[in-house]
Structure 1
């Protein structure tokens, strides 16, 4: 079979840098990030979309990139945990995770951080979750737990993760404009 039928040219903007790649049509975004672009922040935990350790932002929305084919992202803006900081200045969600000691082994942390950034964007846009009551603005620990429920932590750092996301939510107005 002609190998050209199994590959596609894809253009991705990852953390602000444009990448033109020719990839196997079956490559997941996770494998492309890790193997082709050497961005190893997103982790391969379960490879089934159940743990959230591979969470990144695609066009501002959080996705489990182990389930997403790279060819489906052609022309998209992708932000990984490596792209959240501004030079040597950490993103406010990263700062909150450090301040609240919201990690133990750290394996899930990149996915947790990207998911938190996406969740805070959803909250700022007024998108409801399963625990949002009526038209009330989303807030509080129950709301954060619901929105972060797709990210698992084997070390059970959940209380500190919820506190960190809450701290970042309180300061969101200060930093929202500079978030990818």
Structure 2
């Protein structure tokens, strides 16, 4: 994800690159875009091949869920990742930082929003055959400025990403208890 650093001509010091909050933001941005692709492409991909290489298939198999329940669970997890991105973004930007950090985090945010929007709007995923004359695979719900649900700030119980909720102010508050 350091491509945004290169593209913007930023020179971010090693202190920033070793900031676990910034590393979490990089991973969150990548994961949310890939997660969105899995969610929005699911019905088209399921029609084409049943290889099981999709987060929806993984959730269905792991938790013995229906497609609808797995889809709802996947979007809930995506929303929780987005909420954590916002929490960490605000925490970093509300603390001492230089202009390069702000530009870098803005680029991560734009990448994330752009990736989700592309997944929602591309004919490749919206229509089973990839053309507007084919069957509609889904209707995107778009974006909202309001968080839905109190559980959105809850960590996701996946060991490889759980650390995103264990950095920054949240971790500091938890360790004081």
Q: Which structure shows the higher helix fraction?
A: 2
- Comparing both chains, which one has the higher relative contact order based on Cα–Cα distances under 8 Å and sequence gaps of 6 or more? 2
Structure 2 length normalisation: TM-score?
A: 0.25
Q: Which structure shows the higher strand fraction?
A: 1
Higher alpha-carbon Rg: 2
Structure 1 length normalisation: TM-score?
A: 0.24
